[in-house]
A and B are shown apart, each in its own frame.
Chain A
Amino acid sequence: MIVVEILVSFFLIIGAFFALAGSIGLFRLQDFFTRLHGPTKATTLGVGSMAIASAIYFSFLKEGLSLHEVLITLFLFITAPVSAHFLAKAARHQRLHEDKDHPET
């Protein structure tokens, strides 16, 4: 059991780290396109790790095999890149990369 708990803790910490890193990145990075990296890391690696932790926890310590999390991860992995792609597309359309004077926009 202790192995399982260590595993769960490990994934939780990894997930939390990426969520934090993603958030800091969103706040700190310089222009729109680099800032875009932040939230995508948080959703994929961050939430993904937490989903794995949850799957392990419920499968080994609770009622039995739990695969909901796999589905959640799958949906996340499908949707996160699409939204990132959209944001980038919109930014390019609005020519944010040419507007050097106002990087904050």
Chain B
Amino acid sequence: MTLALIPLLPLLGALIPSLFRSRNLNALSAGAIAGISMLLLLLQAPAVFNGEMPLASWSWIPAIGLNFAFRVSGFGFMFAFLILGIGLLIVLYARFYISADDPMGRFYSYLLLFMGSMLGIVLSENIMLLMMFWELTSISSFLLIGFWSYRTDAREGARQALVITGGGGLAMIAGFLLLGHIVGSFELTTILAAKEIIHAHHLYPITLILILLGAFTKSAQFPFQFWLPHAMAAPTPVSAYLHSATMVKAGVFLLALLFPVLSGSSLWFYIVTPVGLITFMFAAYMAMFKDDLKGLLAYSTVSHLGLITLLLGLGSPLAAFTAVFHILNHATFKAGLFMLAGIIDHETGTRDMKRLSGLWKYMPITGTLTMIGSASMAGVPLFNGFLSKEMFLAETLEPNLFGAFSWIVPLGATLAAIFAVAYSIRMVHDVFFKEPFTNLPKKPHEPPHGMRLPAEILMTLCVLVGLFPMTLAAPMVNMAAGSILGAATPDYHIAIWHGLNMALAMSVIALAGGAVFYLQRLRLFDSHRWCMRYCDGKATFEALIRGLVQGGRTLTGLMENGSLQRYIALLVGAVFVLGASPFFGSSVPFIGPLAMSSVDPVTLIMGLVLIVCTVATVVNHRNRILSIIMLGSVGLIVSLSFIRFSAPDLALTQISVEVVTIILLMMALHLLPRTTPVESSSVRRGRDIGLSVLAGGGAAALMLAVLSRPYDTIAGYFLENSKPGGGGTNVVNVILVDFRGFDTLGEITVLVIAGLVIYAMLHNFELTAPGIDALGRPWVQDRFPMILAQITRPLMPLALLFAAYIFLRGHNEPGGGFIAGLIVASVLILQYISSGIVWTRPRLTVDNHIIMAWGLVIAVLTGVGSWVIGYPFLTTSFTYLTWPLVGKFEVASAIAFDLGVFLAVVGSVMLILVKLGSMNSKDAEIVSASVQKAKEKKEGAH
């Protein structure tokens, strides 16, 4: 359990920092949560360092192979350690960085959410679970990048990051599903053991490409690199976190994780190596020309990610080992450098290197730290970056699949290393030296110590690891690489001095070349500006998105032009085509073998009346009142036919729905003219008649085809299990509240939402009913006739009693919460109609939306209640009680669920009808004014 808590704690505790007002408490609570997670992780350390892999697994949705399973592999441990360690430093740093104007609690909430999702990725055992966390990082990084949501660049950057990484995520889901399909399991342990099966499978190439797409987009590899620099609109702590240890490393994490099974083919090499090499060079080149400190670091990050990808692409065990080591080193110096860039920005008011200069006099400590970081980034000896870069350069010299062109790799690597040295020098020299600054927004000074402390810790680590690699870094790297490579782990001795060899020569060339490059930078800037006019990733992206939106609009305009007739015609036409298509070209006889049953006169007459009423509705549709009456008759005959075929529940429901619908229609149509002119052209009417005849005839034919065949329905199962399984003899009701309870829950949720939406739509909607009827006569003055009002009032308790009766018998005989709800709603509406809102509203003290909400709450709680007693969600349990006088009777938890249904129905129906009926009425204004007054009086009394 403690294992699963490592990622879950930050996720579940994400809201906690938002609960406090004090900024210190915000940071403290976030730090505490991350700290506990860290402790839990360290508890796993002894086992992991022993070479074990702790596993914790719970079955979640076994039907799709999704398990709630976590593991701590050596590599996962290293990553989790980085995420939490740097995360803790970021928490401290952000406390000083985020200004008092920004909502700090929210920032920490997003940060924890992100931290938890990242931990989930690196600790998941099930790749479907991993995918969920993967998507969560896309969403939470969107929130983090767009934290300053009032800024256009932040919003654009966040959207771009989401689109690119989210799109890659989609490809990856497909890749994972294929991988699971090939292996037959989504468990990593099984997958990692199935290298031969995967490589031999014919779906291997497409699987590989899809997964690589996901990893490359996340890790900002060429050609998806452009989102990362634009994500720099985020607050600096976010950049420091996302772009050093976490978000973008998720891509290379995944590459390394699946390295044992996916690598080793030529396809892997030919995709991953060039992408890594191009990214490495291109981004290093771009970084040189960025004036923005964070922009420089962003491209440098992309470049280093390219380096790691390149290493993984080379495919040798030592290359993978080096990749792991470089992940660790890069996270350390890059997080620190981002923090330092943030400090410079914070204390001077700008991060533009054209304006910054000569800060050494004012910020010597920050300057020293920046120098350490830059030296590490450039690969200067005695710093940690040097070690892994040296190993990398040595690795590029190995012969590879490019054959005669193998020299491309070391050449490209050296070039990129030259650029890296140049931009590192620029970062230090431009900012801290050169001539004294002239126009800075603020007078620079050293930051508060708490803000500098995280960077100090990280830079100290850079130096110490650089000096004593075997003591400090080797155990962790060996363990992490060991968990990826298994028996193939190279026994490598990390050392500063490997003797005079080719790699050292390349390092020296890089250092010297970088220095020369930096000195010649002005000339380079000119050529770069010319080049950049033609290739800007962001402009291409924006143009692409604009095109997509335009295309979407055109398509929507074609389909959805505001004509309801067209929507329905398209819909019905599509249904007809889809329904009819299987019958064309099929040799199976249309009508099945069952003989027709004889026609009895009652059914025949009912059918004929139904047809007459339907046709009459259509013919009279321009006279609205008449067509409503016809429609009502249709509904009543349908409910009679339900009775004819022994479905009393349906008949009861149909009748009550009919009543409510007619009232609704009357109210709505009251606001419209009573007759409508002929608007459609004759062609269109012809089309509509044709379509409806086709669709209606098609439905009838389909019925004929189905009913004339012997078939076995699931009805038998329900009939058999209704009493023993659900404890009720009314099968319809047991299906609603038990067998298909989850569906019902969904349905009442939809009902409630629909009620709210209609309410919101009608609110402040100006539409006044005409004051006269079609013949110019005014409405009658006596709006609430005495006889009606006096009769409906005593009717109310009777109807409520009837509803209670219908509700209580529902589980065993026709009835139930839905019907009872409709009966109550109609009798309450009757009061409104007969006595008016002024009389009725003050007497119904509970608000309809509250009734509705309680209905939903009760229904959900009933479902949750089953969990408490150890059953799946919404399982009905029932028992028999014996009371004196009443006798033995059954109590089922389903009745509580049914109560929820009942309340939701009453609330939403009332909400809609009362709102519709009181639209723009003067009475409603009087009522709301008096309610307001009563409220004020009450408050005054307190």
Chain A residues engaging chain B, CB cutoff 8 angstroms: 75, 78-79, 81-82, 85-86, 89-90, 93-94
CB distance A94 to B777 under 8 Å?
yes
Query: Nearest Cβ in chain A — how far from B226, in angstroms?
Result: 72
Docked pose: A71 CA to B782 CA in angstroms:
31
Q: Which residues of A contact B798 (CB under 8 A)?
A: 75
Stretch among B270-278, B785-793, B867-875 lining the A interface:
B785-793
CB distance B780 to A89 under 8 Å?
yes
Q: Which residues of A contact B516 (CB under 8 A)?
A: none
Query: Nearest Cβ in chain B — how far from A61, in angstroms?
Result: 21
CB distance A78 to B777 under 8 Å?
no
CB distance A86 to B788 under 8 Å?
yes
Q: Which residues of A contact B780 (CB under 8 A)?
A: 89-90, 93
Query: Nearest Cβ in chain B — how far from A90, in angstroms?
Result: 8
Q: Which residues of B contact A86 (CB under 8 A)?
A: 785, 788
Task: Please name the 4 residue pairs, one residue from A and one from B, whose CB atoms are nearest each other, closest first.
Answer: A93-B780, A82-B791, A85-B787, A82-B788
- What are 16 residue pairs bridging A and B, where the CB atoms are less than 8 Å apart in the complex? A75-B798, A78-B791, A78-B795, A81-B787, A82-B787, A82-B788, A85-B785, A85-B788, A86-B785, A86-B788, A89-B782, A89-B785, A90-B780, A93-B777, A93-B780, A94-B777
Query: Nearest Cβ in chain B — how far from A84, in angstroms?
Result: 10
Query: Nearest Cβ in chain B — how far from A31, in angstroms?
Result: 19
Docked pose: A75 CA to B801 CA in angstroms:
13
CB-CB nearest in chain A for B786: A85
Interface residues in B793-840 (C-beta closer than 8 Å to A): 795, 798
Q: Beyond the given A75-B798, A90-B780, please list 4 additional residue pairs across the A-B interface where CB-CB is below 8 A.
A: A78-B795, A85-B788, A89-B780, A93-B777
Q: Which residues of B contact A94 (CB under 8 A)?
A: 777
Q: Which residues of B contact A93 (CB under 8 A)?
A: 777, 780
Query: Nearest Cβ in chain A — how far from B656, in angstroms?
Result: 15
- Please tell me the size bucket of the interface on B: under 10
CB-CB nearest in chain A for B779: A93
Q: Mark B37-63, 1 if CB is under 8 A from A, else 0.
A: 000000000000000000000000000
Interface centre among A79, A81, A82, A90 (most CB of B within 10 A): A82
Q: Which residues of A contact B787 (CB under 8 A)?
A: 81-82, 85
Docked pose: A6 CA to B798 CA in angstroms:
33
Docked pose: A85 CA to B780 CA in angstroms:
14
Q: Which residues of A contact B782 (CB under 8 A)?
A: 89
Q: Which residues of B contact A89 (CB under 8 A)?
A: 780, 782, 785
Chain B residues engaging chain A, CB cutoff 8 angstroms: 777, 780, 782, 785, 787-788, 791, 795, 798
Query: Nearest Cβ in chain A — how far from B520, in angstroms?
Result: 97
Docked pose: A85 CA to B782 CA in angstroms:
13
CB-CB nearest in chain A for B790: A82
Query: Nearest Cβ in chain A — how far from B817, in angstroms?
Result: 22
Q: Which residues of B contact A90 (CB under 8 A)?
A: 780
Docked pose: A75 CA to B827 CA in angstroms:
13
Docked pose: A103 CA to B57 CA in angstroms:
84
Q: Which residues of B contact A85 (CB under 8 A)?
A: 785, 787-788
Q: Which residues of A contact B795 (CB under 8 A)?
A: 78
CB-CB nearest in chain B for A90: B780
Query: Nearest Cβ in chain A — how far from B572, in angstroms?
Result: 37
Q: Which residues of B contact A75 (CB under 8 A)?
A: 798
CB-CB nearest in chain A for B794: A78
Query: Nearest Cβ in chain B — how far from A89, in angstroms?
Result: 7
Docked pose: A89 CA to B795 CA in angstroms:
21
Docked pose: A82 CA to B786 CA in angstroms:
10
Q: Which residues of B contact A82 (CB under 8 A)?
A: 787-788, 791
Docked pose: A75 CA to B777 CA in angstroms:
34
Query: Nearest Cβ in chain A — how far from B623, in angstroms?
Result: 14
Docked pose: A86 CA to B785 CA in angstroms:
9
Query: Nearest Cβ in chain B — how far from A86, in angstroms?
Result: 7
Query: Nearest Cβ in chain B — how far from A44, in angstroms?
Result: 15
Q: Which residues of A contact B788 (CB under 8 A)?
A: 82, 85-86
Docked pose: A59 CA to B777 CA in angstroms:
53
Query: Nearest Cβ in chain B — how far from A77, in angstroms?
Result: 10
Query: Nearest Cβ in chain B — how far from A12, in angstroms?
Result: 17
CB-CB nearest in chain B for A89: B785
Docked pose: A93 CA to B777 CA in angstroms:
9
Q: Which residues of A contact B777 (CB under 8 A)?
A: 93-94
CB-CB nearest in chain B for A83: B788
Docked pose: A75 CA to B799 CA in angstroms:
10
Docked pose: A12 CA to B889 CA in angstroms:
38
Docked pose: A81 CA to B791 CA in angstroms:
10
Docked pose: A75 CA to B780 CA in angstroms:
27
Docked pose: A75 CA to B792 CA in angstroms:
11
Query: Nearest Cβ in chain A — how far from B215, in angstroms?
Result: 71
Docked pose: A82 CA to B830 CA in angstroms:
13
Query: Nearest Cβ in chain B — how far from A81, in angstroms?
Result: 8
CB-CB nearest in chain A for B801: A71
Q: Which residues of A contact B785 (CB under 8 A)?
A: 85-86, 89
Docked pose: A32 CA to B787 CA in angstroms:
21
Query: Nearest Cβ in chain A — how far from B670, in angstroms?
Result: 15
Docked pose: A94 CA to B773 CA in angstroms:
10
Docked pose: A89 CA to B777 CA in angstroms:
15
Docked pose: A94 CA to B779 CA in angstroms:
9
Docked pose: A79 CA to B777 CA in angstroms:
28
Query: Nearest Cβ in chain A — how far from B855, in angstroms?
Result: 27
Query: Nearest Cβ in chain A — how far from B781, in angstroms?
Result: 9
Docked pose: A86 CA to B788 CA in angstroms:
8
Docked pose: A103 CA to B403 CA in angstroms:
105
Docked pose: A81 CA to B785 CA in angstroms:
13
Docked pose: A86 CA to B795 CA in angstroms:
17
Q: Which residues of B contact A78 (CB under 8 A)?
A: 791, 795
Docked pose: A72 CA to B782 CA in angstroms:
30
Query: Nearest Cβ in chain B — how far from A74, in angstroms?
Result: 8
Docked pose: A93 CA to B795 CA in angstroms:
27
Query: Nearest Cβ in chain A — how far from B241, in angstroms?
Result: 71
Q: Which residues of B contact A81 (CB under 8 A)?
A: 787
Docked pose: A99 CA to B782 CA in angstroms:
22
CB-CB nearest in chain B for A85: B787
CB-CB nearest in chain A for B787: A85
Query: Nearest Cβ in chain B — how far from A49, in angstroms?
Result: 21
Query: Nearest Cβ in chain A — how far from B775, in angstroms?
Result: 8
Query: Nearest Cβ in chain B — how far from A14, in angstroms?
Result: 22
Docked pose: A93 CA to B782 CA in angstroms:
10
Docked pose: A94 CA to B791 CA in angstroms:
24
Docked pose: A93 CA to B791 CA in angstroms:
22
CB-CB nearest in chain B for A92: B780
Query: Nearest Cβ in chain A — how far from B780, in angstroms?
Result: 5
Docked pose: A86 CA to B780 CA in angstroms:
12
Query: Nearest Cβ in chain A — how far from B778, in angstroms?
Result: 9
Docked pose: A18 CA to B780 CA in angstroms:
33
Query: Nearest Cβ in chain A — how far from B905, in angstroms?
Result: 22
Docked pose: A49 CA to B118 CA in angstroms:
77
Docked pose: A78 CA to B830 CA in angstroms:
14
CB-CB nearest in chain A for B785: A89
CB-CB nearest in chain B for A93: B780
CB-CB nearest in chain B for A78: B791
Docked pose: A78 CA to B792 CA in angstroms:
9
Interface centre among A79, A81, A93 (most CB of B within 10 A): A93
Docked pose: A63 CA to B787 CA in angstroms:
39
CB-CB nearest in chain A for B777: A94
Query: Nearest Cβ in chain A — how far from B626, in angstroms?
Result: 14
Docked pose: A93 CA to B788 CA in angstroms:
17
Q: Which residues of B contact A79 (CB under 8 A)?
A: 791
CB-CB nearest in chain B for A74: B798
CB-CB nearest in chain A for B791: A82
Docked pose: A75 CA to B787 CA in angstroms:
15
CB-CB nearest in chain A for B799: A75
Docked pose: A82 CA to B795 CA in angstroms:
12
Query: Nearest Cβ in chain B — how far from A82, in angstroms?
Result: 5
Docked pose: A94 CA to B788 CA in angstroms:
19
Docked pose: A90 CA to B779 CA in angstroms:
10
Query: Nearest Cβ in chain A — how far from B115, in angstroms?
Result: 65
Docked pose: A20 CA to B354 CA in angstroms:
101
Docked pose: A81 CA to B798 CA in angstroms:
18
Query: Nearest Cβ in chain A — how far from B893, in angstroms?
Result: 30
Docked pose: A78 CA to B834 CA in angstroms:
15
